[in-house]
Structure 1
Amino acid sequence: MVAGSEEGRRSMQRDESATELIRVSDEMLAIIGTAPLSQQGWPDRAVAFAIDLREVRQPPSLRFFAEPTREPPAGEDGFPCLYFIVTREACERLRGGPLSIHGDYTYLLAPSMRPILRAIRDCALPEGSAAPYRLAKCIELLCEILEADRVGTLVPVVGRCTLSELDRRRVVASRTLIEERSSEPLTLDQIARQCGINRTKLSRGFREIYGTSVADAIAECRLAQAHRALLGTDLPVGLIGYRSGYQNNASFTRAFGRRYGVPPSSLRSRMN
């Protein structure tokens, strides 16, 4: 991501709905406002981050849109949001790998990110210096968010979670471990031990945060991996099942059929 283009130096614009645009680079836009967002001028293959700018006691919250084909919602109750519209390629390049963040959850940002948000929102510098200053702060905040995603410290906001914040972070780490190693013969005890949490807290917290069990999450990751391989490779069905964590073809076929409604061989034949 390279900032400082001619568009970047003319970075702050206002439209008739008082939404403010900071054009960081050809790969990234930052938008501040409460009005619905137009997709005009968005970079291709963009993802979106929406950050609540309200002054509240709890840390700021973040929502992620993996495929923002519709306009992201404006700030709730008329409060402004900061939106980052960024190409997926730029995010993965800055993060050093694929994104782990999910679009199904709202996340708490670390309190240390609040000063960066305030600097973007409340900058009182003269216009000539405000533009490059806020542009740089947008890049800094995006990098902080992506680093938190990389190390697993983005914590989902949950309404009735009984765990401490530290244990919630451990549950988030367990989700990352499952996604990275789902094809291995993972057990609840093994996951709990590697994430530094006992199995009872892990089971309860996982269901409270993600609305599913650890076993179901492992199965979902394995089947999603198999589904991608069936559509994207010519590997034999049995080998795909084995590489996805299933010890025999019968159990793989049953699980795949329950999840997708068709046996794996039928899915592949439909695509050919």
Structure 2
Amino acid sequence: MQFKQRVDVSPEMLSFVGNGAVPGAGWPAGSIGMSFRLGDSVLAFHAAPTAAAMIESDLAFVVTAEACRRIFGLVPDEDARWHLSSDLRAIVIAIVDCRLAAPARETLRLAKSIELLCAVFEKIGDHALVPTDGCGELNELDARRIVAARRLIDEHWHEKLTLDGIARACGINRAKLTRGFRAMFDTTVADAIADLRLAGAGEMLRATDLPVSSIGYRCGYLNNASFTRAFSRRYGVAPTLYRAHRLAA
């Protein structure tokens, strides 16, 4: 039987990455579990985790409830399923698809597992996660289509995207996509795209010496003026000043 790769994050936490079964032995006593599925963008919380419950995941955690209470001040007391938000999904992808060679790969996966655990508990504490059954008037099929729209945005934010094009690609009409996306993710389609584009632009401004105009184009903006306006509204400074301030710091 194929098993996921085990990462010993700490004496109180294990991470299991990739395809295959989750080894059921050697877990810390009194653990809770989390499993992350990229295919349908679901985060599942397991109050009493089992290897069988997490077998279909791309990534799974087991961590002691005591550690969660000590660090985050809370632990859910029952199983739950939430839609995997775009920022959490990005961390999961970084863990699962890491192309570094060992031992750097294991080091990155350890660090990112801690980052992901902290990010999940922050959202739990802020009630910022959307339950998979909390879709209001949407039926199950439409909810899946809107999750697919979110996944399309998460993966193709740097390309030309339109509301009509996303709706067609996901098999849902424009009006239902607009209403359902806001209900499920507490944001509009346009704002979700803009958030990802501007976050990507900020990262490129910090990490590369590419011209500002090239960064804007790579992040989905058709011209430098529209990129500068959008970036300035979001961050309060133009991209050139943002880069200069970051470098000076």
- Superposition TM-score, scaled by structure 2 size: 0.56
The 2-side partners of 1:90 and 1:258 are apart by 29
Shift in alpha-carbon separation, 1:160–1:184, aligned structure 2, 3 A: closer
Aligned: 1:174 with 2:132: no
Task: Answer whether contact 2:47 2:76 (CA < 8 A) is retained.
Answer: no
RMSD: 4.5
How many residue pairs were aligned? Answer: 177
Correspondence list, 1:37-76, <5 A:
51-53=45-47, 71-76=71-76
The 1-side partners of 2:189 and 2:181 are apart by 7
Task: Answer whether contact 1:206 1:212 (CA < 8 A) is retained.
Answer: yes
Task: Answer whether contact 1:226 1:241 (CA < 8 A) is retained.
Answer: yes
Q: Which residue of 2 is the match for residue 256 of structure 1?
A: 231
Task: Answer whether contact 1:171 1:205 (CA < 8 A) is retained.
Answer: yes
Task: Answer whether contact 1:163 1:205 (CA < 8 A) is retained.
Answer: yes
Task: Answer whether contact 2:135 2:143 (CA < 8 A) is retained.
Answer: no
Q: Which residue of 1 is the match for residue 199 of structure 2?
A: 224
Shift in alpha-carbon separation, 1:226–1:158, aligned structure 2, 3 A: farther
Q: Deviations over 1:229-250 (max 9, x none)?
A: 1011110001111111111111
- Superposition TM-score, scaled by structure 1 size: 0.51
Correspondence list, 1:1-272, <5 A:
2=5, 30-31=27-28, 33=30, 51-53=45-47, 71-76=71-76, 91-93=95-97, 103=120, 156-157=131-132, 159=134, 161-272=136-247
Identity %: 45
1:258 positional shift? 1.0
Q: Detail structure 1 runs of 4+ shifted over 3 Å in the superposition.
A: 21-25, 28-35, 72-77, 87-91, 101-106, 155-160
The 2-side partners of 1:169 and 1:91 are apart by 24
The 1-side partners of 2:94 and 2:218 are apart by 30
The 2-side partners of 1:261 and 1:91 are apart by 32
The 2-side partners of 1:163 and 1:259 are apart by 32
Q: Which runs of 5+ in 2 are unaligned?
A: 17-21, 33-42, 55-59, 62-67, 81-90, 99-108, 125-129
